[in-house]
Amino acid sequence: MGISSQKRSTAEWLRAVLVGVMAFAVGSWATGATAQEKLTILSGYDIQFMHGYIADKEGMFKEEGLDVTVKYSVSGKVAVDGVVAGAGVLGISGSLVSVTAATQAPIYVVAPLARSEHLMEMVTLPGIDEAADLKGKRIAFQFGTEGHKFVLLYLQKNGLSVDDVTLMNIPAQALPPALSRGDVDVVAVWPPHSTKALEATTGAKVLTTSHGVSAVYGVVIMRKDFVESNPEGGRKLLRGLLRADKFIKENPERTLEYFAEQGKIDMATARKINAGAKPEYGMALDKAFFDENQASADFLADHGFTPSRADANDFMHEQLMRDVAPELVTF
């Protein structure tokens, strides 16, 4: 064989090897991509709901081998309704919305994310200075949310009934303009909507917060069919959220930056909301969380939202958390 023939033969061999290496690399990448399980989760926007956003932005779900699409909404109720409808396998919302779904649909309450006794705010027009002044007034909130529970319990605590006021169902994001226009006298909602209501309405003030009335949890729910058919996927999602919980506790300032970024608010407002809500982050399945779930179920039954009183043992699912962080399950 001549030198030129040898060069051609060597070149062809090198090309073949290169093609083979590239094919292997592409094949390996494709296999890796396939291993990234694709899941969709839905989350509301709230100072207590930051785990999903942070786990997504910080790549914590990817570290668990998941390709997660996180879809956000202005309220946790919209997120939970989407999970119930099959638009996602996991939802992040508040206590009452989550328990309502779990008592009426194939949904499990899986874990808490945070707790606040100050989150909800009742913002009023001028001239409403105490509970007695609410008589005859128009009180607006988004039905089925924590605002609903907050108002009914506050009225009851102060010797008033629903017959003493007019209750109006208005989506959370529409409450600030409704108050500023004078369409309603009072709004019961969480920040930043309550913050916007105060800023938009001259003379508006916070009559009361939920402190002493009702505690509010950020809650993780999952579809039962997903948990039962893909428990490992559920465990991976929980591990991602637990990573986010650790990040939140260790990086409070960065967490506020993410909160401001997600809601397109300035840092001064983010800090003000955080200082007022005083969220206590943590994903422990403890007796306090169990009792709050039972209290929400009792509230639904007592006010005719469900036909019978549900048992929290039937809709709370602790096995996934036992699998990934057994020390957090104590109830």
Q: Is omega for the bond preceding 192 within 30 degrees of 0, making it cis? A: yes
The Cα–Cα gap between 75 and 201 comes to: 22
Taking 3-state DSSP, the helix, strand and coil percentages for the chain, each rounded to the nearest 5, stand at: 55, 20, 25
* Joined tokens for residue 159: 């010797």
Number of Cβ within 10 Å of residue 133's Cβ equals 14
pLDDT at residue 15, as a whole number: 44
Return the ∠ at Cα 165 (arms to 200 and 298), rounded to 5°. 100
pLDDT at residue 6, as a whole number: 40
DSSP letter assigned to residue 311: P
- Per the CB < 8 A criterion, the answer to whether 279 and 47 are in contact is yes
Residue with tokens 């956003």: 53
pLDDT at residue 74, as a whole number: 83
pLDDT at residue 35, as a whole number: 59
Q: What is the pTM of this model?
A: 0.85
**What whole-number percentage of the chain has pLDDT above 70?**
89
pLDDT at residue 300, as a whole number: 94
Query: pLDDT tens digits for 92-142?
Result: 999 999 999 999 999 999 999 999 999 999 999 999 999 999 999 999 999
The CATH fold assigned to 121-209 is D-Maltodextrin-Binding Protein; domain 2 (3.40.190)
The CATH fold assigned to 37-116+222-328 is D-Maltodextrin-Binding Protein; domain 2 (3.40.190)
pLDDT at residue 191, as a whole number: 95
pLDDT at residue 310, as a whole number: 96
- Per the CB < 8 A criterion, the answer to whether 191 and 121 are in contact is yes
pLDDT at residue 259, as a whole number: 97
Query: Residue type at 251?
Result: N
Give the DSSP H/E element, type plus range, for residue 91: strand 90-94
List per-residue pLDDT tens for the chain, 331 residues long.
443 444 344 344 334 433 333 333 333 323 333 458 999 999 999 999 999 999 999 999 999 999 999 999 888 999 999 999 999 999 999 999 999 999 999 999 999 999 999 999 999 999 999 999 999 999 999 999 999 999 999 999 999 999 999 999 999 999 999 999 999 999 999 999 999 999 999 999 999 999 999 999 999 999 999 999 999 999 999 999 999 999 999 999 999 999 999 999 999 999 999 999 999 999 999 999 999 999 999 999 999 999 889 999 999 999 999 999 999 999 8
- Per the CB < 8 A criterion, the answer to whether 330 and 288 are in contact is no
Query: Closest Cα partner for 169 from 154, 147, 150?
Result: 147
